Chain A
Amino acid sequence: MSRTGLYGIVAEFADADRLTAAARRLREAGVAGVEAYTPYPVAELDALLDPRPSPVPAIILGAGLLGAAAGFLLQYLGMKFGYPLNIGGRPLDSWPAYIPSTYEIAVLTAIVVGFGAFATATRLSVIYEPVMDAPGFERASQDRFLLCVEAAAPGFDRGRLEALLASAMPSRIAEVPR
């Protein structure tokens, strides 16, 4: 693997307030390709970096409804046509008896699909990304707040970017090799 070239510039901050201020500055300056790495979810960052709501809850809802429909149909078809069994003269399509399992199947489908959707949206299972080579990246999961700007983003101007970041008082600015 070639280690030449620049993946991006990373700035490290001591607290979330400074990071948020820096992100706001970059946004006002119209810098693209910004990503923050924080040890806990910082709600204010969403509005600055990517204000779109996560699609995962909608996927979970869809999966739950689909699971409910499929689960109900499975029980209905199985009991009415697959294996009709007369129990005390009760009707074969006594739907209330299918509801508890329908609910459980709905939740099971919702959570399994939801986990898959979450893993896909967050690109889990990608064990390595170049940004992980940034100096001090391991502190981003502990007590430091990182802001990374990708060099490949349109309009990347290193000098201007470093000036912008420096004005937000980072504890360090460093290069991330590709």
Chain B
Amino acid sequence: MSAAEQREFRVIAPGQTIGSITDAISDIVLEEATPFGWWIGFGISVALFLVLVAALSWLFVAGIGVWGIQNPVAWGFAIANYVWWIGLASGGTIISALFFLTRSEWRTATNRIAESMMLFCAAAAGIMPIIHLGRWWYFYWLFPYPNAMGTWPQFRSPLHWDFVALLAYVVASILFWYIGLIPDLATLRDRARGRRARLGYAVAALGWRGSSRQWRHFRATYLVFAGLMAPLVCSVHSIVGLDFAGGLWPGWHSTQFPPYFVFGAVLSGFALVLILVILLRHAYGLQAIITMRHVDVLAKLTLTCTLLIAYAYLIEAFMPFYSGNAYERTVALADFAGRYAWAYWGKITLNVVVAQLLWVPAIRRNQLALIAIAAGIIVGMWLERMLIVIGSLYRGFLPANWIPFVPTVWDWLTLIGSIGLFLTGFFLFLRFIPIVTMFELRELVLRKEGASR
């Protein structure tokens, strides 16, 4: 590596001070005019979000018959979307929690982006099972509350585990995100010049003063929260895998499902963080803070996950034939050459084959190529989720029930609209919240500058 490249691959560019990074990050929110590109992006996001509103309104009026689902393919796009979105979210949690515990320096500049992405992915995921219920207004029956019918939820069902896991994940994610945000909100409160902005950030910062007593509790609490979040995210996606593995259906009843789902989730999550990090460092001119080192690390992590998922795909293709189970074989053969074979080979190509380009250092430095590969992975992961749900259900035990699933326009609009929900939330985050964790970055700057002094 040349000297110039070494500089580029530092975890933070030289010459930064704790004052300069505070200015750079908080001015994005407080001082600089909202970039024109933000308005375009936000406009498109809101338009897509309105598509979701329209799709759900019609769904609520007409019922879930507007989707392409029937028996036996009763889980259509909604459940595939759910698994896909919750998977995208988990990559953000892994970056912010697991790599906090490992004290990875590159995590500092990217964790706020990753956590905020996780939050809005979880929101998009959370609506899917509820709208899929059909009689969605009864969703509170999932809670064990005293009721006149004398019934209880079925706690032994993986579907109920999933409800509890999602609830825990969403609440814990919000609190973990918020606690890490409080010191930065206090910075914004102290820098804001408008009365309304100052009042808003003062309330949001809950009177954070940065006293040594507060920092002492903060450090202890944040460490324990990170330690709780890292295994939590693995458990959540394992339980999503058990939704399927707990059924006896061919193609689903497999012990590898929990890790298989976690691998896929983390792969898609890293890919999305990679795209967002590359776009944001250019959109906001943060190349000195989010350096090529961050891009490189994320690309390598994505590559690692493609190998993990490749192993899971190998087992998935091997076990039906090793087991000698005719029903399992039927599903596998339908995957390879049936109606949805394009999705099967699509997921292999996008998630495993193309992504091997990341071995090449020149590709990892080419940000356009990285965006293309990561976008391919995100699409590939959606194909995988769709195939797991539909590819198995339409090749069940009874050939008389081999009815293919044909998505309707409302299926597609719900998927597209959920992307609008994510983007709308994410654009609002970019506008109102510092996109890089300032207080952690101050520590990092002093450590790095102190070392070079």
* Closest B residue, CB atoms, query A110: B228
* Closest B residue, CB atoms, query A139: B190
User: Restricting to A73-104, which residues have a CB under 8 Å from any CB of B?
Assistant: 74-75, 78-79, 82-83, 85, 87, 90, 94, 97-98, 100-101, 103-104
- Please name all residues of chain B whose beta carbon is closer than 8 Å to the beta carbon of A90 when the two chains form the complex: 156
Q: How far is the CA of A119 from the CA of B440 in the complex (A)?
A: 20
- Counting chain A CB atoms within 10 Å of each CB, which of B153, B160, B203, B225 scores highest? B225
Q: How far is the CA of A53 from the CA of B217 in the complex (A)?
A: 8
Q: How far is the CA of A114 from the CA of B172 in the complex (A)?
A: 10
Which of B17-25, B70-78, B338-346 binds A?
B17-25
Q: Is B179 an interface residue (CB 8 A)?
A: yes
Interchain nearest-CB distance for A142 vs B (Å): 5
Which of B204-212, B328-336, B356-364, B371-379 binds A?
B204-212
Q: Is A167 an interface residue (CB 8 A)?
A: no
Question: Is A40 in contact with B443, judged by CB distance below 8 angstroms?
Answer: yes
Question: Is A53 in contact with B220, judged by CB distance below 8 angstroms?
Answer: yes
User: Restricting to A29-85, which residues have a CB under 8 Å from any CB of B?
Assistant: 35-43, 45-46, 49-50, 53-54, 56-57, 60, 64, 74-75, 78-79, 82-83, 85
Q: Is A26 an interface residue (CB 8 A)?
A: no
Question: Is B22 in contact with A143, judged by CB distance below 8 angstroms?
Answer: yes
Q: Is B127 an interface residue (CB 8 A)?
A: no
Q: Is A122 an interface residue (CB 8 A)?
A: yes
Q: Is A169 an interface residue (CB 8 A)?
A: no
Q: Mark B404-446, 1 if CB is under 8 A from A, else 0.
A: 0000000000000000000000000000000000011011001
Question: Is A54 in contact with B221, judged by CB distance below 8 angstroms?
Answer: yes
Question: Is B161 in contact with A104, judged by CB distance below 8 angstroms?
Answer: yes
- Please name all residues of chain A whose beta carbon is closer than 8 Å to the beta carbon of B439 when the two chains form the complex: 39-41
Question: Is B171 in contact with A41, judged by CB distance below 8 angstroms?
Answer: no
* Closest A residue, CB atoms, query B213: A50
Interchain nearest-CB distance for A100 vs B (Å): 4
Question: Is A132 in contact with B216, judged by CB distance below 8 angstroms?
Answer: no
Q: Is B219 an interface residue (CB 8 A)?
A: yes
Question: Is A128 in contact with B207, judged by CB distance below 8 angstroms?
Answer: yes
Question: Is B164 in contact with A105, judged by CB distance below 8 angstroms?
Answer: yes
* Closest B residue, CB atoms, query A38: B210
Question: Is A107 in contact with B209, judged by CB distance below 8 angstroms?
Answer: no
- Please name all residues of chain B whose beta carbon is closer than 8 Å to the beta carbon of A75 when the two chains form the complex: 155
- Please name all residues of chain A whose beta carbon is closer than 8 Å to the beta carbon of B178 when the two chains form the complex: 115
Interface SS of chain B: helix, strand, loop or mixed?
Answer: helix
Q: Is B215 an interface residue (CB 8 A)?
A: yes
- Counting chain A CB atoms within 10 Å of each CB, which of B19, B151, B158, B168 scores highest? B168
Given contacts A126-B207, A127-B202, contact A38 B212 (CB under 8 A): yes
Task: Choose one: A87, A115, A122, A143; the contact of B18 (CB below 8 Å).
Answer: A143
Interchain nearest-CB distance for A20 vs B (Å): 10
Given contacts A36-B211, A74-B144, A98-B155, contact A103 B235 (CB under 8 A): yes
Question: Is B442 in contact with A35, judged by CB distance below 8 angstroms?
Answer: no
Taking A56-B224, A101-B160 as given, write out 17 further A-B residue pairs in contact, using a Cβ cutoff of 8 Å, ordered by the A residue number: A39-B210, A41-B216, A42-B215, A43-B219, A45-B215, A50-B212, A54-B216, A60-B224, A79-B152, A104-B236, A107-B232, A122-B218, A123-B214, A127-B206, A139-B190, A140-B209, A142-B22
18 CB < 8 A contacts A-B:
A37-B212, A40-B18, A42-B215, A46-B212, A46-B216, A54-B216, A94-B156, A98-B156, A100-B165, A100-B235, A104-B161, A104-B168, A107-B172, A108-B172, A119-B206, A122-B218, A123-B214, A125-B207
Interface of B with A (CB < 8 Å)? 17-19, 22, 144, 150-156, 158, 160-161, 164-165, 167-168, 171-172, 175-176, 178-179, 182-183, 186-187, 189-191, 202-203, 206-221, 223-225, 228, 232, 235-236, 239, 242, 439-440, 442-443, 446
Closest 5 CB pairs of A and B: A138-B190, A54-B220, A83-B152, A108-B168, A41-B215
